[in-house]
Each structure stands twice: as structure tokens, then as C-alpha cells.
Amino acid sequence: MSRSRLLKGRLDALATNWMGHRFRLPKDRLVALAADWGLLILLSYCVYFLINYWYRALVWVKPSYQVPFPGYAYVLTVTLTFLLAVTWENVGTSIGWKGVGLVHSDGRGHPLGLGRRGARIVIDLVSWVLTALGTAIAALPLAGLGAYIHGLASGQGLTVLPGAILWSPGGWLATSVLAIVLLAALAVAALVCWWIARRLWSFLWPGRKGSTPWADRAAGSTVCRPSDLDLGGRPRRWWQTSWGLMTLLLVAVTVYVGALTTQVSVGTLIRRASSTGYFWQRLFSPDFANFLRPDPDLNDTMLNGIIQTIFMSLMATALGVVFAFPLSFLGARNMVTKTRLGWGVYTLMRAFFNIGRSIEPFVMAVFFGVLVGYGPFAGVLALFIHTIAALGKLYSEQIESIDPGPVEAITAGGGRRIQVLRYGVMPQVIPPFLAFTLYRWDINVRMATIIGIVGGGGIGRFFNYYKNELRYHEVGAVIVIITVVVWVMDYISGRVRERIT
Amino acid sequence: MAEPQLVIEHVTKVYERGDVLALRDVSLTVNRGEFVVLIGLSGSGKSTLLRCINRLIEPTSGRILLSGVDVTAAKGQELRSIRRRIGMVFQHFNLVKRSSVLRNVLAGRLGYAPPLPTLVGRFPREDVARARQSLETVGLVEKIYTRADQLSGGQQQRVGIARALMQEPELILADEPVSALDPATANSILQYLEQMNRELGVTVVCALHFLSLARRYGTRIIALKDGAVVFEGLPHEIDNVRFKEIYGEDAEEVEVR
């Protein structure tokens, strides 16, 4: 079957399923379920945390006491929250469904009645429990294998499963037959489990004639956009809906648990502030003696430190641009995704950009310090990697948002691919690229000032040293220098960027 | 005189993503020196058809011949040398807004110019002279170093025409070249196309919205509806009945002079 016919079959099935609407419903429903499930897991964590906290607060136990939470409790929590999420989506409009913009409907544009929702709940729950049971049974051989490997690893040899089969009273033949029958039963269980899941999720893999999930079929329900629903009156206010109340509860509980976890306490702040006067006094009377005179302990002046910092950021930015520029074209969807290979390259580049940005330069500086020795070079390398990723992403997004017109015009005039890049794309992206680069340099200066704290050289080295030596007059001076330099760079880069774009 | 220059045979285009049939079995012949006007509602397939001719869009099936050469089978260098013989004028001009007028016009010459020097921005001296000449033709030579985004819409479209002229085209495809312009400017732009058609003998295939403009400039009119040809004939043959056929029952003709 050709690809287009397959596609067509899929679309037709969707159309018959969903009142002729061709939404991305399967994906939306999955995303919504995942979101609801995740939120309920978050809620259950908070509940467990609070039980622990209150138990310790009300019943006198030692502060490290934990209410027991064995391994199977994790499995139970994950399973129960899933079933709860499924039920929630059937009872009312869950946060996930609200988020992706879906509601249940009876297929004629009216909301689903209570009875039909009840039917949905029963069928969904029963089939999910069956699926879970089937999965558990089908996973038994894995458990057996695990026990076997565990037995081998712990030096008990063949004492567990295979041993039991070989030396059982019925003899090896009867045992083998039994084992085969057992395995067959397990396979059947797995198949049944798969079959149930298939019927539950049939909106994901519509058959040739199109198929409807069991719960939808039994309740005669379907899903649609809220705007397609005739509510027969005023829609409910947010506090009258399940998603609204749930959001309120989640926010309240999360903030409460968050405050407890991070030990936020206004009392501590006030109590401690009054007893650290000497520290503030020194910090606010900065000592600039070492600005021009080399510090005997560090063998360098603060001026050299800040200059080194600025050069670190300059090198990291310059080197970063050299790599980010070509890579950004490979990471721009409209440049490479004409072929399958192009999609691969695009995905790879995007992954690199995203991962590269999510690792903080401080963390990288520690690793590069091990690699090339602690000092400015390690700092430059750390900033360099981060700059490639950050600029690559900014650049490629800029390339993706160009006006496709000139590209089309130059292609139509018989230009080569490289000429299209040079005359259709580059003139459009170079000015914004310059602006992004300046912006990045600005960020790099800011990061380079503190990267010395983890051994990256520059002014950060002074900060770290003085802080450890409790020389707070000098710490104050370093803070003033950093603030002034960052502010000046920020101001200049802002003004220049205004000019460019 | 009736020498077929462009032959379109059973061209069909399906957009898979939207599952849309944009062109349904379109067959046409355009003779050398004609000024063919394509009319039809938005979404009737005019743009798709024009872009299939120079393969900016790949037709799903069918064949297109330009002066006997199969465009649909061409690849690489062959496709580029076919494309450089076909000038194209766009609805939104498709100029690089940040570049100068000269640079935009020279971009039309990329199909001919030696590839390596153009990468560092150098063009042969005769190409620059030719650009100046094309700009003279459209009366914009005094704006040669102006940035393209500082020109008015009509001036930008004239730059677009000068760029197409740089290709020494034997065929010009114009995709609603005047939809973004006011009526007076629209006429002057179409007059430039008419001038090229009459004086240089360039064949023009032009998509237009307004029937009055189509009647005035076209030597032949082809109407598309839902991706199929519904009318093909001389401008004066479109009467009220035909008009309703093409544009639907509720349409009323709007005059643009």
C-alpha cells in the first residue's frame, strides 16, 4: 500500500470517528492524559510529604523519621493516579482537557449526561484494571528472569527458578510440559492485554473502517472543541469546574509544600540580619587598594582580573559564532528538512542546541578545569560550548522566520542552492545575527564574572579568594567592579542593538 | 505564428498535508508571443499551476514541455538552465528588503553569472551594465542604490520586473503581480509586462484577480475553478453567464481601470 493511500485511510478513519472534524485529536488526548496523570502524581507527592511533615510535627519522633513508603507503594501510586486521571477526565473537564481544548459531547453537539459519564467511567476503569493485570501477568517471566539473574549474581547459583524446574518431583518431562503450558498462558495473557489496550486506545490506531474507543462507543460519546458544544445556557465560571478547583488546590498545596521544602522562613531572615552587622559594614566600605596594586596573595591586580574576564567573554563569543553560524543553518527547519537525511540532521542539531543550553557553564567549567587545568581557558571553553548552543538556537530560529519570498525568487531565476543562501537568506539574517551576537557577548560578560568562582579565572577568582579569606572589604570592591562593568556592557550592547535592527 | 512554446499535459497536484487536490488534470498550450491571463477565485490553483511550470512546486503527475524540453524530468543543472529562461514576477515582489535595488536586480542574473565570484558578491561588469539597463527600462535607474524597503509598492514591483528582465526570459510567469497595488499603479505595471510582450516578444502567463484587467491586457484568457480549467478563449467571450460559472452565483463584476 502506498504512503498516500495509508495516509488517506488514516484521515478517513479519523473523519468517521470525530464528526468529520480533522483535529489532531489522538495526540491531544494523549497529551491531556499525560498532563493530568503528571499533575495527580505531583499532588500525591505533596500529600505524602504533608503526611510525613504533620506526623513528625504532631507525634513526637526523631526529626529524621520517615513514614514507611515501600517499593510497591510507588507502583501503587503510579497506577492509582493513572486510574484517577482517567476517571477525572470522564467526570468533568480536567486540566489536561481544558489545556488542549477538548470536551466530551454526545455527538450531536450537547454535553454528556451524568449516566453516560458513569458508563464511561465504569468501562474505562474496568478495562484499565484488566490491562494492568494483563501487563503484570505478562511481565511474570521477566520477574522470573530477574530472580534468576539475582540468584546468579548473589552466588546462590541455580537455586531459584531453573533449579526448581529441574529437580521438581514430577521429573523433567512433566515439568517441561508444565513450563510450556505456563508460558503459553502468559503469552495469551499478554495478547489479551494488548487487545484490550488496542480497543481502549483505538483512536490512536484507527482500523480500516475506523474504530471508536470502547468507552466512547458504550456511552455514545465523542469529543469536540468547546466552541462546538451547545451548553444551553451560560457556561460555568472557573470555580464551578473541576479544572478550576483542581488548579486552585494544586497551586495552594505546591506553594505550601515548596515553602516547607526550601525552608523559607521570614523569622530566620529577621533574626539573622541583625547579628551580621559587621559583615554588611565591611561590604559597604569597599577596599580598592588592590585595584591597581598587585595583591601579594594572588599576584595580580583586580583591574587585570576584570580585563581577563572581558577577554574571556570575547573569546568565547567569537569562537562560538564561528561554530554556531554554519550549524544554525543545519538546525533551521526551512533549510534542511526537504529530505529524510535533512530531518535527521535537523533533529540532531536541535537536540544539541537544547542539551548544550541546559547544561550550565558553571558545571562545564568544572569539567573543563579537570581537562585543561583550572584557569581562564577552562572558563572560555565552558562559555564557548554554551554560546554555540544558545546562539545556534537563536540563529536557527531567525533563519526559520525569514521571508521565503526572496528564496523563491532566486530559485525561480535558476540560482544554485549556495547562491540562494548567499542572496536570499544571508542578507535577511545578518543584521539580526549581529544583534544576537552582541546580546550573547553581554550575557557572557555576566557569566564570566562569576565563572571564576568555580575555577574559571578572571575577576571571579578574586571574589572566591576574598570570600574564603573573609576579607569582606575586598569582596565589596569586587562586587562594585562587576556591577559597573556588567551595567556598562548591558547599556552599550542595548544601544548598539537598537541601531542594528 | 502559432508555435506552441509551453505545453502542459494532464498536470495534477495533490497537497498531501492538507489532503487537497489543487490541480485536476490540467492541459494547456501557450503559443510563442501570447499574453495569457489566468483568472479564478483565490485557491482555484492559479499560483500552483504557475509554480509547477518552473518546478517551484513539484506536480504530482503530468508533463510540462517548454520549447519541446520536458521540464518535469529535468534535474540539477538542466533544471536551473530551464529556470533561468523563465522569468517570474510575484504578488509580494519577493525582494530582499534590506538589500539595495541593484543587488536585487543582479540576483536575477545568478543563473548566468559564474558561481564562485558571486559568493563574495562580485558580478561580471556586463551584468552590472545590464542591471542598469533593465532599471532604465522600468524607469528606476535613479533609485539604483536605494534599499528596496524604501520604495513604494509599485516601484518594488518594477524592481521585480527588472530582475526578471535580467534573465533574458523567453517566458514570464506573473503571479498576481498587481494584487498588492492600487488600480493606477496596477495598470502601469501591467503596461510594462505588455511592453515586454510586444517589443521583446516574451510570452507572458499572468494570473490576475480582476476581469477588467484580464480583458484589457490578455490575448487569451484561461479560467480555473477548483483546480480545473473551466474556460479557455478570447477575452470578449466571457459574458455574464460564463462569469457566474467561474466566480460563482453570488459574484458581481468589479471594474478596475
> Would an 8 Å CB–CB cutoff place B118 in contact with chain A?
yes
pLDDT single digits (tens) B79-110: 998 998 999 999 988 999 888 899 999 998 88
Measured distance CA(A113)–CA(A97) in Å, rounded: 18
pLDDT single digits (tens) A114-137: 888 888 888 888 888 888 887 777
User: Smallest Cβ distance to A412: which of B14, B88, B103?
Assistant: B88
pLDDT single digits (tens) B124-148: 889 999 999 899 888 888 888 888 8
Assess contact for B176 and B208: CB atoms under 8 A: yes
> Would an 8 Å CB–CB cutoff place B76 in contact with chain A?
no
Q: Which residues on chain A are in Cβ contact (under 8 Å) with B112? A: 414
pLDDT for A52 beyond 70: yes
Nearest chain B residue to A3, by CA: B16
Residue with cell 533561468: B84
Assess contact for A323 and A490: CB atoms under 8 A: no
- Residue-level pLDDT at B207: 92
Residue with cell 561554530: A323
Percentage, residues of chain A above pLDDT 90? 32
Assess contact for A414 and B83: CB atoms under 8 A: yes
- Residue-level pLDDT at A25: 61
Assess contact for A461 and A452: CB atoms under 8 A: yes
Percentage, residues of chain B above pLDDT 90? 23
pLDDT band at residue A208 using 50, 70 and 90 as cut-offs: very low
CA angle A130, A135, A140 (to 5 degrees): 130
Contact B111 A413 (CB under 8 A): yes
Mean per-residue pLDDT of chain A: 82
Contact B96 A416 (CB under 8 A): no
pLDDT band at residue A7 using 50, 70 and 90 as cut-offs: very low
- Residue-level pLDDT at A205: 53
pLDDT band at residue B152 using 50, 70 and 90 as cut-offs: confident
CA angle B104, A327, B108 (to 5 degrees): 15
- Residue-level pLDDT at A254: 95
AA letter at B100: S
Q: Which residues on chain A are in Cβ contact (under 8 Å) with B166? A: 413
pLDDT band at residue B257 using 50, 70 and 90 as cut-offs: low
Measured distance CA(B111)–CA(A417) in Å, rounded: 11
Mean per-residue pLDDT of chain B: 87
Nearest chain A residue to B94, by CA: A405
Measured distance CA(A142)–CA(A220) in Å, rounded: 39
User: Smallest Cβ distance to B99: which of A7, A403, A427?
Assistant: A427
Between residues 152 and 181 of chain B, which touch chain A (CB distance below 8 Å)?
160, 163-164, 166-167, 173
Across B196-207, average pLDDT:
90
> Would an 8 Å CB–CB cutoff place B80 in contact with chain A?
yes
> Would an 8 Å CB–CB cutoff place A423 in contact with chain B?
yes
Residue predicted with more confidence, A399 or A61: A399
Q: Note the ipTM here.
A: 0.89
Measured distance CA(A409)–CA(A420) in Å, rounded: 9
Residue with cell 551595567: A487
User: Smallest Cβ distance to A405: which of B92, B99, B118?
Assistant: B92
User: Smallest Cβ distance to A414: which of B14, B16, B83?
Assistant: B83
AA letter at A191: L
Across B155-171, average pLDDT:
91
pLDDT single digits (tens) A325-345: 999 999 998 888 778 888 889
State the smallest CA–CA distance between residue A105 and chain B in angstroms: 26
* Length reported for chain A: 501
Q: How far is CA B163 from CA A323, B38, B135, B167, B200, in A?
A: 34, 22, 9, 7, 15
State the smallest CA–CA distance between residue B253 and chain A in angstroms: 31
Across B165-189, average pLDDT:
88
Say which range, A27-31, A491-495, B78-82, has the weakest mean pLDDT: A27-31
Contact A413 B84 (CB under 8 A): yes
Q: Give the pairing of strands B61-66 and B220-225.
A: unpaired
Residue A185 has a CB neighbour count (10 Å cut-off) of 12
pLDDT band at residue A253 using 50, 70 and 90 as cut-offs: very high
Between residues 390 and 419 of chain A, which touch chain B (CB distance below 8 Å)?
403, 405-406, 408-416, 418-419
Hey, of B19, B58, B110, which one would you mutate to test binding to chain A, going by the most A CBs within 10 A of its CB? B110
> Would an 8 Å CB–CB cutoff place B16 in contact with chain A?
yes
